[in-house]
Structure 1
Amino acid sequence: MGCHCQMLWLVLASVMVATVEGCDPGDLKGLASFRGGIHMDTSGRLAKWAGRGCCRWQGVACNNRTGRVTEVHLPGFISTTDFVFQSQMEGWLSPSITLLTSLEVLDLGGLVGLSGRIPTSIGRLENLKKLYLYGNKLTGPVPDTIGKLLKLEELHLHENRLSGFLPPAIGCLKNLNVLLLHSNGFTGNIPGSFSNLTNLMHLDLHSNSLSGRIPENVGELQLLEEFDLSENFFTGEIPVSVNNLTSISVMYLDTNHLEGEIPFPSNYGVMPMLGFLRLQNNQLSGKIPPNFGYLVSLQRVSLENNKLQGEIPSSLGNLQALTELYLGGNELSGVIPKSIGRLSRLIMLSLSGNSIQGPLPDEMSALQNLQTLDLSFNSLNLSSIPRWLAELPSLSRILLAGCGIEGQIPDLLRLTPSPIQELDLSANYLIGGIPAWMGNLTQLYSLNLSRNHLSSSIPASVVGFEVLGVLDLHSNNLTGSLEHVFKIGTSFPGGSLTYIDLSDNSLTSGIDQIGVGTLERLEYLNLSHNLLEGQLPTSVAKSTALKCLDLSYNKLGFGLVEGLANLSNLETLKLQRNHFTGGIPVEFLNLKNLKDLDLSNNLLVGEIPAGKPLSDFPQSCFTGNRGLCGKPLSPCKS
């Protein structure tokens, strides 16, 4: 008897080995058809698919007992011990892939050249648990038959160009645990049948063209943990039923056209796990709910750019886990509640662009971990910066534009506990000069003192700004030379500055220093509406990253520098209202990216070089130069 059983086991084992070695005929046909639809595979994986032993092919896995193919892993992103790279497959997704009826995992994500459609026969894959078709070029609708995949746990279709709508049949996927469809071209409404997906844990439809209302019964998805409908065209109100999402931890409904009031939380204990909430860039109105403080797990909240009114509720002080709070761009009024001082973990607070009044509560001095404070453009009427603000131990980004600050730039910013990295005091009533000690702020990467009443010259100490990337001093009464500006960041390879705006001042000299320093990273330079004299130096051609150069409304003269034509990234060139002489260099025809040009009201002569991009600009860009002729001006006289 024992011998008989042993022989039977050997026979069965040999059959299993033969099955695994030979591959199920249906599976083999499906894989072969898939390979036949691909005409380029940069990973080289499909080139190794040879013979009939498909279970040994790269990216294919089989069930050891049945010999059937259960997994196909051919993702675009391939990781090795040394690096990660993205491969490509160009071709069509063959419908024959659905012949693999025992398939549990199909991963073709990130194959940027894969096109075609999700086959209507997809419903045959009744054992499918995970489907990854994101980051491809698939088109067409999501077929109704996908609703037959009752074992599906994860569906990733993001970053395609899929069209059509999500069929009601998708509501049959009752065992679905993860559904990711974001960054596609899906249109239409979310089917009401989504409420049938009671095992759904992740629902991600962001970056599509979906419209209509969020289904009223969305609250029936009791296991939903992540809910992302951002960057679509949803309208109407947020359903009250979201209060029933007891497992929700991430909710992103931002960048839509949602309106009405925020309907949650209705009571204490609602959404106890919600940690990340984004509702910005909608049309939400009413007040921030007084019960908002019941959302005790919140870590990051953004309600920016809506139409919210009223006072900031004091209950926000109960959000002990909160690290980031964005309320800017609304119509909030009243004062900042003292309870804000209880948010001991807060690192980011943005209240800009509201109608919040002063004074600032002293309790804010307890925000020991605060790194960024943005109170810009409110009705604070601060007059001066509170001393406690400059003593916050972690504060490195101070944004107080349009807050009514008066007097000179306060010395209390000289020795802050944490090095200042960004300082915005624009649109205030500052007077006096830029203090020499500011050059000691060596970690500063953005400085905006524009639209004040600052006078005197730019101090030589600004060369101490070792990593400064943005310098905005426009609309002041600054005089003297700007030469020190072009020496900022000289210790940094290629320079550190990317943005300089010194327009609308009374600067007179230093134009000859452009390009002498290391300004290879500079993209924006605006020196317009000053009193600058002299000649534009040839060294300006070294600023090869320049996209915008505005020297208009000065007293610059001599000829146009041919080297400007080497600025291949230049999109804006404004030189009007100066004293430039000579002709327009024919090399200017090399400025292929030029979109905005103004050479009007100078002393230029000769024929305008014929051809694009110069021929694309209207007469107004060249008028006021009595010696200029040729298209688009009057023809030159022979």
Structure 2
Amino acid sequence: MLVSSETMQPLQFSNKTHNNKLYIPSLGLTLVLLISLASPASSCTEQEKTSLLQFLTELSWDSGLAASWQNNTDCCKWEGIICRQDRMVAKVMLASKGLEGHISECLGNLTRLQYLNLSHNSLSGGLPLELVSSSSITVLDVNFNQLNGTLHELPSSTPAQPLQVLNISSNLFAGQFPSTTWKAMENLIALNTSNNSFTGQIPTHFCSSSRSLVVLNLCLNKFSGNILQKLGNCSKLRELRAGYNNLSGTLPDELFNTATLEHLSFRNNDLHGAIDSTRTTNLRNLVTLDLGGNRFGGKIPDSIGQLKKLEEFHLDNNKFSGELPSALSNCTNLVAIDLKKNNFSGQLAKVNFSNLPNLKTLDVYFNSFTGTVLESIYSCSNLTALRVSTNKLTGQLSPRLIDLKYLTFLSLTTNSFINIANALHILKSCRNLTTLLIGSNFKGELMPDDNTIDGFENLHVLDIESCKSFGGIPLWISKLRKLEVLILSENQLSGSVPAWIQTLSDLFYLDISNNNLTGEIPTTLMDMPMLKSEKNEAHLDPRVFELPIYAAPSLQYWVPMALRKVLDLSNNKLTGEIPMEIGQLKSLLSLDLSFNHLTGHIPQSSCNLTNLQMLDLSNNNLTVAIPVAPNALHFLSAFNISNNNLEGPIPSGGQFDTFQNSSFDGNPKLCGSVLTHKCDSAEAHQAIILSRKPTDCKVAFVIAFNAFFGVGVLYDQLVLARYFS
């Protein structure tokens, strides 16, 4: 099951530490501070000890807990146990102990137990009814376990329970919420059921019985249907999280009567409608508004400016349109604005960003904004991430961009900016930049090769693709010692592939495809440290992507994330043979040398590339027979050697039996069972001998990256450059 940052935050009511990531905190365990417990006593009662030992016996793995819990010792001194002065157990705190097994109902016999925390273990089975209906427990936390089944119904005659905090998030619970259970929860203050598989409509029973409910987190379940009006009866609610469900319809008007709301999130559902311009003003205490990933439309009303406490504003992936209201400037506490993938238009200048001194992230990717990047944005001195890509912006970058001293992520791609030389001379002064994406701009300009471009010392990702720039691969890139991802594809770069690329010791993704590069593939390129490393995954520094990058319209990934190790030299004019040293790149996952003028044979050393998942050598002038070596590439899911001059039998067995005929087209002298041209008896006998020939290849086993590759995936479908919007 997907685990979101909605469920992994510490339990709290509000948060004053902000970042650009989706923030939806869980329940407020700070409520525990409301519970006053006396200091521990010297010994416990026999009844209490018996109940605890029964709990211990029902564990299949106690992770050494039994060493502390001895029958001949005082249970008030046992690990994780705190008693009152009357020798009754008041707290059982066994979070993150590695416990396995079932939760014993005997814990319900601890008649003075107020606090039970079994979170972050591997407990399974159901949640005992004796704990939910306990006459003493006020805080029950079992989040991040493997508990399953449905929640029990309490008898309708059950008296009011003292339970104040219930956290059952990140388990395997399913089914609908039992209505009678919540009628007895009159004292409930915080409820977190997130990251389970609950179904049916969003429960509203507790809004009638639990008048003091403050925190309600229902995200990452399978709730469906409309949002009921009764949810507006939770008049003291401060946090309402119901993202990542299957909710439909509109937001009920009654919900806007909850003036105490501070955090409201219905992210990634199927809701629609417009933001009510009159009722929105009732939510004057709102700190977080997250309606991203729905079908909301219309304009952002001017009344949004009355939400003076607003810090997180997420309307991304909807159908909003029109210009941004100037009143947004009145939300002076804004920290994050996320409006990507809508239909907004007009100029960003409608908003006076100089009124937003706390702004850290601004994301307006994939809209229709026009004009230039307005000067007032450069007044946001705390800005760390700025993405204005895929709009209709024009002009040159302003020298004032260097005022953004904390900027780490900048994406300007797919606009109509000009003067790349000026842009780079400005950007080199942004010393904290880790990600710079400026492709699909500066059309037809000369790629600067100026040695005075000496900044970017912290850059990890550089994308200058699809600019149709001419010139050579610039020498100043050789100074970027922390560079991990370099994309210069779809330009008109000429000259040879520089040998100095090998000196970029952290580089693991190189795409210089679709250019006019000539000469031979330098053997030094076969000595890239990260591609020779035995480690197959490459983890970017968490600071690299302040904003998500995209593999598909509905997918987004947060770092730290694993990216493929890729070498793409395709669609150039490279000549000569494929270096024998290619076999050194043992952790390479994708190799594309297609559409060049390479000659000679496929090196036998390619058998060393046992982690390879994509290999494309098509449209070259390769000759001689296919070596048996590629038959050792057990993870290969995309293979293409079409349109060469290869001859002889196609090796059989292994991955070769899974490839389409098109993988071998354009080689009239090839024969094999998958082709129209079958091998004669002599050729077939040769193929059998070759397939049985022992090799020195060592087969390496790795975790396949299923998110990027699968059987039948087209070889050119997932070019990493497309991730960087």
Whether TM-score is above 0.5 comes out as yes
1:150-169 equivalences under 5 Å are: 150-169=161-180
Residue 414 of structure 1 and its aligned partner are, at CA, apart by 4.2
Cα contact 2:381–2:403 (8 A) shared by 1? no
SS at 2:612's partner residue? coil
Alpha carbons of structure 1 residues 346 and 511: separation in structure 2 relative to 1, 3 Å: same
Change (3 A) 1:232 1:546: farther
Structure 1 residues 219 and 569: alpha-carbon distance in aligned structure 2, compared to 1, 3 A threshold: farther
Shift of 1:296: 1.0
Instruction: Quote the Cα distance in structure 1 between the aligned partners of 2:285 and 2:403.
Output: 34
The 2-side partners of 1:219 and 1:573 are apart by: 57
Where structure 1 has 5 or more consecutive residues not aligned to the other structure, the ranges are 1-15, 77-86, 490-494
SS of the aligned residue for 2:223 comes to strand
Distance 2:257 2:311 in 1: 20
2:267 match: 254
- Separation in structure 2 between the aligned mates of residue 21 and residue 121 of structure 1, nearest angstrom: 21
Task: Give the C-alpha shift of residue 345 in structure 1.
Answer: 2.2
The alpha-carbon distance between structure 1 residues 429 and 267, as it changes in their structure 2 partners (threshold 3 A), is closer
Match for residue 51 of structure 1 among 63, 67, 71: 71
Contact 1:433–1:457 (CA<8 Å) still a contact in 2? no
Give the root-mean-square deviation of aligned CA atoms: 2.8
| Residue of structure 1 in register with 2:359 after alignment | 346
Instruction: Report the counterpart of residue 723 of structure 2 in structure 1.
Output: none
Distance 2:215 2:583 in 1: 53
- What is the alpha-carbon distance in structure 2 between the residues aligned to residue 545 and residue 253 of structure 1? 41
> What corresponds to 1:5 in structure 2?
none
Secondary structure in 1 matching 2:469: coil
Give, in whole Å, the separation in 2 of the partners of 1:316 and 1:483. 49
* Counterparts of 2:175 and 2:573, CA distance in 1: 60
The residue aligned with 2:655 is: 613
In structure 1, which of residues 195, 217, 221 is the aligned counterpart of residue 234 of structure 2?
A: 221
How far apart are the structure 2 equivalents of 1:416 and 1:146? 69
Describe the shift of the 1:626–1:179 C-alpha distance in structure 2 as closer, same or farther (beyond 3 A). Answer: same
Deviations 1:169-199 (Å, cap 9, x if unpaired)? 3432121122111111222222221313222
The Cα shift of 1:151 comes to 1.4
- Paired residue secondary structure (1:203): strand
The one of 49, 68, 71 equivalent to 2:91 is 71
C-alpha deviation, 1:405, in angstroms: 2.0
Q: Which residue of 2 aligns with 1:487?
A: 502
Name the CA distance, whole Å, in 1 between partners of 2:303 and 2:380.
23
Alignment correspondent of 1:287: 299
Kept after mapping to 1: 8 A contact 2:228/2:252: yes
Aligned pairs for 1:26-41 within 5 A: 27-28=48-49, 30-41=51-62
CA contact (8 A) 1:239 1:263 kept: no
Query: For the Cα contact (< 8 Å) 1:486–1:519, is it kept in 2?
Result: no
SS at match of 1:195: helix
1:6-405 map, 5 Å: 20-24=43-47, 27-28=48-49, 30-41=51-62, 43-51=63-71, 53-65=74-86, 67-76=87-96, 87-112=97-122, 114-145=123-154, 150-172=161-183, 173-196=185-208, 197-263=210-276, 266=279, 268=281, 270-336=282-348, 337-380=350-393, 382-389=394-401, 392-405=404-417
- 1:422 is aligned to 435
Pairing of 1:565-576 with structure 2 (within 5 A): 565-576=607-618
Structure 1 pair 607–316 and aligned structure 2 pair: CA distance change class (3 A): same
Kept in 1: contact 2:379–2:403 (CA 8 A): no
- Distance in 2 between the 1:264 and 1:202 partners? 26
CA contact (8 A) 1:249 1:276 kept: yes
Q: Which structure has the higher relative contact order (CA within 8 Å, separation 6+)?
A: 2
Letter in structure 1 aligned against 2:473:
I
1:533 is aligned to 575
Over 3 Å counting, the alpha-carbon distance change for 1:566 and 1:160 in structure 2 is farther
Cα offset for 1:603?
A: 3.0
Moved more, 215-224 or 331-340: 215-224
Structure 2 contact 507–528 (Cα < 8 Å) conserved: no
Residue 22 of structure 1 deviates from its aligned partner by 4.6
Change (3 A) 1:297 1:528: same
Q: Read off the aligned partner of 1:460 and give its amino acid letter.
A: L
Report the AA paired with residue 509 of structure 1.
G
Q: Give the whole-Å Cα distance in 2 for the aligned partners of 1:30 and 1:242.
A: 44
Contact 2:44 / 2:89 at 8 angstroms: preserved in 1?
no
Q: The residue matched to 1:613 in structure 2 has which SS?
A: helix
**1:40–1:312 distance in 2 versus 1, CA, 3 Å:** same
2:509 is the counterpart of 1:499 = yes
Tell me the alpha carbon deviations over residues 37-89 of structure 1, each in whole angstroms, 9 at most, x when there is no partner. 32223x21135433265444322333332x4433322212xxxxxxxxxx433
Contact 2:373 2:397 in 1 (8 A): no
Report the AA paired with residue 352 of structure 1: Y
- Out of 511, 517, 528, which is 2:521 matched to? 511
CA–CA distance in structure 2, aligned partners of residues 146 and 370 of structure 1 = 55
Deviation at 1:423, TM superposition (A): 2.7
Q: Which residue of 2 aligns with 1:4?
A: none
Supply the AA of the counterpart residue of 2:110: L
Contact 1:391 1:416 (8 Å CA) reproduced: no
The 1:566/1:179 distance shift into structure 2, 3 A limit, reads farther
Aligned match for 2:474, one of 456, 459, 480: 459
Change (3 A) 1:385 1:108: same
Asked if structure 1 preserves the Cα contact closer than 8 Å seen for 2:148 and 2:172, the reply is yes
Q: Is the 8 A contact 1:400 1:426 kept in 2?
A: yes
Contact 1:605/1:625 (<8 A) preserved: yes
Moved more, 334-343 or 160-169: 334-343
For the structure 1 residues 89 and 391, does the alpha-carbon distance in structure 2 shift closer, same or farther, using more than 3 Å as the test? closer
In the TM superposition, residue 395 of structure 1 has moved relative to its aligned partner by 4.2
Mapped partners of 1:562, 1:163: distance in 2? 54
Q: Deviations over 1:102-154 (max 9, x none)?
A: 43222221112x21112344444121111122111111112223996721121
Alignment-derived partner of residue 3 in structure 1: none
TM normalised by structure 2 equals 0.77
Do the aligned residues in 1 keep the contact of 2:138 with 2:163 (CA within 8 Å)?
Answer: yes
Larger Rg: 1
Residues 473-519 of structure 1, C-alpha deviation per residue, up to 9 Å, x if partnerless? 11111111122462352xxxxx2223222111111135233222333
Q: In the alignment, which residue of structure 2 is the partner of 1:472?
A: 487
Q: Judge conservation of contact 2:284–2:308 (CA < 8 Å) in 1.
A: yes
| CA distance in 2 between partners of 1:208 and 1:223 (Å) | 24
Kept in 1: contact 2:41–2:76 (CA 8 A) = no
Partner residue, 1:406: 418
Contact 2:325 2:351 in 1 (8 A): no
What TM-score do the two structures reach when normalised by structure 1? 0.86
Counterpart-to-counterpart distance in 2, 1:579 and 1:93? 67
Q: Which runs of 5+ in 2 are unaligned?
A: 1-39, 532-537, 539-563, 682-725
Q: By how many angstroms is 1:391 displaced?
A: 5.3
* Aligned 8 A contact 1:458 1:484 in 2: no
Counterpart of 1:277 in structure 2: which amino acid? L
2-side partners of 1:294 and 1:527: how far apart? 54
Q: Does 1:435 align with 2:421?
A: no
Q: After superposition, give the CA deviation of every residue in 1:292-311 in whole Å (9 maximum; x if it has no partner).
A: 11111122222111111111
Report how far residue 265 of structure 1 moved: 6.8
Q: How many residues align?
A: 600
Which is worse superposed, 311-320 or 194-203?
194-203
Q: Can you list the C-alpha shifts for 1:372-400, whole angstroms capped at 9, x where unaligned?
A: 332212123x1333444455554454322
Counterparts in 2 of 1:32 and 1:315: CA distance versus 1, 3 Å: same
CA 1:279–1:629 in structure 2 vs 1: closer, same or farther (change >3 Å)? same
- Alignment-mate amino acid for residue 170 of structure 2: E
